[in-house]
Structure 1
């Protein structure tokens, strides 16, 4: 049976739960973590809960080294403690491991409060891509960070297995969703380019491994949709590629729908919301056989796209996928189910 507190968290009634989420990734950043938390907060509110997200926008910040578009909170501990106490949450969730996440963890441990965390981002691999440093010591630090909580939420089965092998404990499955009203097969962008159009959508940064896509020998045309620190350099180096810059809302959905294959070259993502968005628009996906793509595509690989150790081979195979099947597969991933799973993993602030 559910505990009284857990039943309250799941209930939609006159006594909503007060849920505080602390995240170093928040507006005006544009990435998968922010989109997940924005949509999760909206779903929880629609279910009757009171949700607040505390992000860097409430603090003095400084630019993240090598990625100045991301702002990191500067000495947030005292102010964050006041914000937590003023909100008086029933449950505390720490979404990220940056300065705010560390400050929230410290606040909870000092007071003997329980909390949950999430593993959204492979920071060790991101650091390795930028500096060449081995990720081993960072994984040891991340393990200590997350093991202090009562559960670390992860998006895929393969990531759960990997983290368990690295010694992480209390791992809990928490998948993702997609906005099926916004991301749909029509209307579609008319690129005015030779077909087929192979597209990448997402942050234009070194950890996304975009050059692996742009260097492929493929028929037709290539399109890159998104912004980031690598955009200027890639534009100069690949003059034959169409770079659109960032797109949002309907313009983003049209970009997906107007592409013949969505190519996802990342080797470091923990899920890949953009994969679901492409599938919801009826666009098949080509990716490496790694965590995220292989989990999402596993049930219908071949019909909705392809994963392979050879990205070119995956891209060419994906051309033969069934666009209607892509949409059907995406419809399995609803945000309400995502919110319900999140609620089921929360713990009362005062105990386990």
Structure 2
């Protein structure tokens, strides 16, 4: 054991439509991470995929007066590179390449495609550096709402009725694709299959609205999922990997209520912009038996995908007392006010301690097959 502090690369931004959400998340982590325990290196990814070294200033990336932050400065391009003994951050300039030192662990605060979907995780495995969160397969399955449902059905979970429309199916015969959705009961929720933060989602109340909603979703992802609305409460649970061979941990469940009549569901504005639009209740108002059941189901969902690090698992709790799984988020919103950190704070792990634990889990885990 040395006195050297682990060097943590905070990676944020990215090529997805959740670029700004990622920046806001990074601001929260920068402000709260324990500087006595970790050295941090902020690296941003532009919407075009360029990596750039940034200043360590949380205010640059905070959500100020409703303006969404964006990474545009590419004056300090960098990349990761490895040799048999370490992974380094390299500065790339016209005058040459400069080694900026070893990176011990990457904290990828990226949401959506090209960050949360296994693509980044594969790159980090290739350069041999530890990282926070799930590996390639769990990240990829957790990002795709179609394959996620298939995996959860295989693990014995109840899922709601749905139809998937691929790009080729839509281009070949959109009428046939629409006809398949006729078996579903309205209202429907039309979603990009591989996106998050409620981007591109439309609530549809009649068949006349369906085609337009699909086109909105297709603007984010050519593969679309159409889900039947579920009558039930939306209950969520945070999951945290156990150390070593310890059991996976689950937070107290939380429930989000949309308080503003201007939001018909928990959309992007309600989540990130309108601070008065929603309210979190944690622990959720459930019986002791139901609380225990959802915590066990959340752990089962995480473990069924070989999840690592953290996840948030979302369920519908029906009036009949059934739990219907909605989705898993392998890199959930992670600002101090996001659901995941709030649920863990109510369970006894505060934000800074949660950051410490996630980095510790990553450093303990080996790279490669495990």
Query: TM exceeds 0.5?
Result: no
Which is richer in helix?
1
Which is richer in strand?
2
TM norm structure 1 = 0.36
TM norm structure 2 = 0.35
